[in-house]
Structure 1
Amino acid sequence: MTAVMPARTTPDQGNVVLRAQGLSKRFGGLLAVQNVSFTQYAGEILAVIGPNGAGKTTLLNLLSGVYRPTSGQLWLLGNDVTGHAMEARCHAGLGRAFQIVRPFPEMTVHENVTVGALFGKRGMNLPQARERAYDLLERTGLAAHADKAAHELTLLQDKRLEVARALATQPQVLLLDEVMAGLRPAEAQEAVALVRSVQESGVSVLFIEHIMPVVRDLADRVVVMDQGQVIAEGTYREVTANPQVVSAYLGTETELHA
């Protein structure tokens, strides 16, 4: 079945949802992320790309609270969350879906999403969490699998479950770490439609991705990293025409313009 692509939402550039200023992370003698600054607007899908080892996942770990920055600041919805732990950032409106999905394998699909709903915004009781979980399974195309054990799902369904679990926490900004990895082209297009529907629901999305056609089809703006630093920022067309970006991708334009 061909995925129907929701209309593209226009970002609200008067409303900043995520702002990083001078974020750096050092591991011993290695400066993995160096002085990274960017702004994300409400309703925007922002892509972070770069060659292997560019510092993209380390940056995502800084944004989500897995790591504390060596220096720099991070604001979420206007609030300084630089020193906040992962759970505090989640409660404040930041969700994350991981590249390697780790659902509770023996729990049902519905139970996995219910756990996410209970972990997210404070004050949600169990009946409300169950209802929210069912709504999200409908939205992510998993309703027919609600009573299956999570370990019975296919890879594409696993990816959908990971997004559903993150959305269950009621984020205003959703971080996606290479959620297209391992998917066949048709499956990737379904995942693109899912991410676009997340944006259409009012959630801003920041994602890391290696598949350039996915970046081209999804991103409103693109941040390019290399060797821990931001080397370019702009639309997909602008950054893929940048000679420094082409050079970072081993001097070939094939991958960028696939």
Structure 2
Amino acid sequence: MSAGQDVLRAEGLGKRFGGLQAVQDVSFTQRRGEVLAIIGPNGAGKTTLLNLLSGVYRPSAGRLHLLEQDVTDSPIEHRCHLGLGRAFQIVRPFPDMTVHENVTVGALFGTPGTRLREAREQAWALLELTGLAPHAEKAAHDLTLLQDKRLEVARALATRPQVLLLDEVMAGLRPAESQEAVGLIRSVRDSGVSVLFIEHIMPVVRDLADRVVVMDQGRVIAQGTYREVTADPQVVSAYLGTEAELHA
């Protein structure tokens, strides 16, 4: 797939839980090499959308294409093997395994038939990319929160994704740590991985996103650059509040 083509395409995605319409008629595309942010108030449907993209939920309506293949009904592992990775807000490594071993497990899972030696070498390269190489032999339960976040990203990258989904990886970090995490995501993008992330810290969205999709009450209410969506009166009313918040 050449640069500029779609890596993700959602067409009218919807998800209903009984009488609750959590996501309704969500459509967007993500281009190769693009960093795409999904923002919106609590309850807007952002995490439900991420669960639809990753395969945790099957949609009630609509279609999803990953790297030009229809994956609407595909299970998580099939999407992973096609090139979709995900890092979660709540980090759950194997606590008694070393950092290196945790990432090696991801490498073994991501590509069927990968040899252990190859997986270990791939894991080491990712530890260097994510700044975890000095902590390779630490048990995962001995890491700081920022190091935990880095490990979660490294484990997701170990599956060799072409598209990486990130669910509020800045949550709980101090401002200086958030800036470190921004640098990490840029490094991931520069390595050739397209990134789609959920975030509520607007300066992070401003600094990272090429484009922004804004959700409210399960629907997309705006799409565009950071400047475009933050100038949209509907977005300001539904989510942003005052202009001063955008530059906090």
Give the TM bin, normalised by the shorter chain.
over 0.9
Aligned match of 1:8: none
Deviation at 1:253, TM superposition (A): 2.8
SS of match in other structure, 1:107: coil
2:226 corresponds to 1:239:
no
Aligned pairs (5 A) from 1:52-201? 52-201=42-191
In structure 1, how many angstroms separate the alpha carbons of the residues matched to 2:238 and 2:88?
A: 25
In structure 2, how many angstroms separate the alpha carbons of the residues matched to 1:85 and 1:27?
A: 19
Aligned match of 2:35: 45
Deviation at 1:250, TM superposition (A): 6.2
Deviation at 1:122, TM superposition (A): 2.0
In structure 2, how many angstroms separate the alpha carbons of the residues matched to 1:177 and 1:222?
A: 15
Deviation at 1:153, TM superposition (A): 0.1
Deviation at 1:257, TM superposition (A): 3.3
Please report the RMSD computed on the Cα atoms of aligned residues, expressed in angstroms. Answer: 1.1
Q: Give the letter for the 1:175 counterpart.
A: L
- Superposed structure 1 runs of 4+ greater than 6 Å apart: none
Aligned match of 1:5: none
Q: Give the letter for the 2:190 counterpart.
A: E
SS of match in other structure, 1:256: helix
In structure 2, how many angstroms separate the alpha carbons of the residues matched to 1:178 and 1:218?
A: 13
In structure 2, how many angstroms separate the alpha carbons of the residues matched to 1:250 and 1:207?
A: 18
Q: Give the letter for the 2:122 counterpart.
A: R
2:215 corresponds to 1:225:
yes
Deviation at 1:254, TM superposition (A): 3.0
Aligned match of 1:205: 195
Percent identical? 80
Q: Give the letter for the 1:16 counterpart.
A: D
Unaligned runs of 5+ in 1: 1-10
Q: Give the letter for the 1:58 counterpart.
A: T
In structure 2, how many angstroms separate the alpha carbons of the residues matched to 1:256 and 1:88?
A: 39
Counterpart among 32, 42, 45 of residue 22 in structure 2: 32
Q: How big is each residue's C-alpha offset from its partner over 1:130-161, in whole Å with a ceiling of 9 and x where there is no partner?
A: 00001100110000110000000000000000
Q: Give the letter for the 1:189 counterpart.
A: Q
SS of match in other structure, 2:245: coil
User: Residues 240 and 257 of structure 1 are in contact (CA less than 8 Å); yes or no, is this contact kept in structure 2?
Assistant: no
User: Residues 9 and 66 of structure 2 are in contact (CA less than 8 Å); yes or no, is this contact kept in structure 1?
Assistant: yes
Unaligned runs of 5+ in 2: none
Name the count of aligned residue pairs.
247
Q: Give the letter for the 1:126 counterpart.
A: L
User: Residues 240 and 246 of structure 2 are in contact (CA less than 8 Å); yes or no, is this contact kept in structure 1?
Assistant: no
User: Residues 58 and 72 of structure 2 are in contact (CA less than 8 Å); yes or no, is this contact kept in structure 1?
Assistant: yes
TM-score by length of 2: 0.98
